[in-house]
Amino acid sequence: MAAIQIQELVKEYRVSVRSKGIAGAVKSLLIPEFKHVRAVDGISFAIEKGETVGFIGPNGAGKSTTVKMLTGILSPTSGSIEVCGMNPEKERKRIAARMGVVFGQKTQLWWDLPVLDTYELLKHIYKIPKPVYMRNLDMFSELLGLQDFIKTPVRQLSLGQKMRADIAAALLHDPEIIFFDEPTIGLDVVAKEKIREFLRYVNREKQTTMLFTTHDMDDIEQTCKRLIIIDHGSKIYDGSMDAIKAAYGKERILAVEFAEKVEPLSYPGVETVDRQGSKLWLKFRKDEIQVSQLINRLSQSYSIVDLTVQEPDIEALIREIYLGGIRIEPSLSGVG
């Protein structure tokens, strides 16, 4: 049985439409008019136990809406959802015992209480056996460095401390599945690294299934083996992180500085992607043209001052997928 399974999931929001001006305001007060916005438009996927999945897409793609349906907060317009074999909306309480949720923008910790008091409350709410609670608390304290602030009221914590405390709170009851919505938003690089390392450890040790929505591609690259990309409520990619890298890893950028200003160039297999003064960034496919051939060719016509070859980073690849500039082989992506 898959840990998470959704089929043809659709969510429409009803939003009120108001005509302009005072007359319009009065009219919509008397005869309210609505339109439907399709935030999620027929998404299907299955996630197996222990998988780490990055669930990404541009702003407004429908990520948070999907996560809210998966956690039972929102009810779908149509389609089916199963989480741990249950319907999240109908069995919200039973499912809560088996899932954890972290919203980077919102804390589940009691604002005025010390962190530890929230943990004690959660222990009672989830009926966590004492040995499990103690073991997890020890482990999380050590790995996330909670001991420095565990007795401090939450409102006095820094963003990074709060986030670490929040993640521990969501994992105290050993959930099988955990949903993260922007778990490292606003954190510094060291704090982000610590959290990613912690999540990798938890996934390895406990086979926790993890679904991340984030705009931080390093989060995804370092924690997720699989990627699901959505846009305008539809799935546009579903496949391994490695498949993306392999498919696009063939592209390289040659940054060349010339002795004088040059016009953008294009050869077969080579295109200019950027230009600043006398510097050009040329994208080429290394299976079509070797870098030495390209440099040779350039140096025959121009005088070169400096050059570097750059690997495309994951962020650039994803940006191209969002923009529709890259098509993914269905055999690689698993879509359809």
Ligand X SMILES: Nc1ncnc2c1ncn2[C@@H]1O[C@H](COP(=O)(O)OP(=O)(O)OP(=O)(O)O)[C@@H](O)[C@H]1O
Residue among 53, 49, 153, 174 at smallest CA distance from 109: 153
Of these, 63, 98, 164, 192, which contacts ligand X (CB under 6 A)?
A: 63
DSSP state for residue 136 in the 8-state scheme: H
Residue 34 and residue 16 in contact, taking contact as beta carbons nearer than 8 Å: yes
25 near ligand X (CB under 6 A): no
Which partner, ligand X, Mg ion, none, binds residue 39 by CB below 5 to 8 Å per kind? ligand X
DSSP string spanning 12-52?
EEEEEE--SHHHHHHHHHHS-EEEEEEEEEEEEEEE-TT-E
Between 206 and 215, CB nearer to ligand X: 215
125 near ligand X (CB under 6 A): no
CA distances from residue 39 to 63, 180, 182, 227, 266 in whole angstroms, order as listed: 9, 19, 19, 20, 40
37 near ligand X (CB under 6 A): yes
Q: Which stretch binds ligand X (CB under 6 A): 55-63, 121-129, 135-143, 204-212?
A: 55-63
Site for Mg ion in 58-77 (CB under 5 A): 64
Which helix (DSSP H) or strand (DSSP E) does residue 218 occupy? Answer: helix 217-223
Copy the structure tokens of residue 286.
Answer: 């290394």
Residue, CB closest to Mg ion: 64
Which partner, ligand X, Mg ion, none, binds residue 161 by CB below 5 to 8 Å per kind? none
Which partner, ligand X, Mg ion, none, binds residue 62 by CB below 5 to 8 Å per kind? ligand X
Report the distance separating Cα 297 and Cα 158, nearest Å: 55
For residue 73, the minimal CB distance to Mg ion (Å) is 13
32 near ligand X (CB under 6 A): no
CA–chain centroid gap for 235, Å, is 14
In 3-state terms, what secondary structure has residue 257?
strand
Report the distance separating Cα 205 and Cα 173, nearest Å: 15
For residue 15, the minimal CB distance to ligand X (Å) is 5
Of these, 64, 118, 203, 209, which contacts ligand X (CB under 6 A)?
A: 64
Residue 89 and residue 72 in contact, taking contact as beta carbons nearer than 8 Å: yes
For residue 64, the minimal CB distance to Mg ion (Å) is 3
Site for ligand X in 2-21 (CB under 6 A): 13, 15
Largest CA distance in the chain: 75
57 near ligand X (CB under 6 A): yes
Between 59 and 276, CB nearer to ligand X: 59
Crossing angle of the two packed helices 241-248 and 314-322, in degrees rounded to 10: 90
Between 37 and 259, CB nearer to ligand X: 37
227 near ligand X (CB under 6 A): no
For residue 77, the minimal CB distance to Mg ion (Å) is 18
Interface residues with ligand X (CB under 6 A)? 13, 15, 37, 39, 57, 59-65
Interface residues with Mg ion (CB under 5 A)? 64
